[in-house]
Structures are given as structure tokens and as C-alpha cells.
Amino acid sequence: MGVNLSLICPFVMPLACLFCSVERRRPEFIPEELHRQYIQLMQDTLLTDIQKNLEDFRQKRSMGLTLAESELTKLDMERLRDRVGMERERSCAEQILSKIEEVL
């Protein structure tokens, strides 16, 4: 038997105002620095709630209260394989960069 996980999405006033101001503008006309500020504000606003939800999920998973445990296990294994693949890519890239530096 699994436990449903709920995500509470708090719309803090600055974030709501941000969405209103973005909707009124065409995205291509918003300066890049303003985009960064919007993204940073959204991250800062939602980070604590996301961390609480992740911790709640981890606790429920460790107690065996999550649904689709086999799929979650497959995803965990894929993440480990991806990490190994990225390490190999990084190693190869470092070797290539060192050879380029030798030539230059």
C-alpha cells in the first residue's frame, strides 16, 4: 500500500507579481539579466518547499510507503550508469584538452 505524496505550491506575492509582469511582455523583449532575476526569485521562493517535499519523499521511500518501487529502483540504477558515463566523458574530454594544450 502506498502513500500519496502531495506538493504544496506556495504562490508568494512577489512570485505572483512576477508571473503577472512576465505575462504582459513578450519573452524575447525581456533582457537576459531580468530573466536571470526572475529565475533566481522563483528558485529562492520555491527551494525550501521543494526540499521539504524531497525529504518527505525520501522518508516515505525508506519506510517502503511509495508506489512503483521497481520503477524507482530502475531510475536509480540508470542514474548510476549515467554518472559512470559522465565520468568517462569527462576523463576523455580532459585528455583531449590536455593534448590541445600541448599543441598550442
Q: Which tens digits make up the pLDDT trace of 29-80? A: 778 888 888 889 888 888 889 899 988 888 888 888 888 888 888 888 888 7
Domain boundary assignment for the chain: 8-65, 67-103
Contact 59, 32 (CB under 8 A): no
Q: Which parts of the chain are beta strand (E)?
A: none
Closest CA to 46 of 12, 92, 91, 5: 12
Identify the pLDDT of residue 63: 87
pTM for the model stands at 0.45
Average pLDDT over residues 76-86: 82
| Window from 7-16, 44-53, 89-98 with minimum mean pLDDT | 7-16
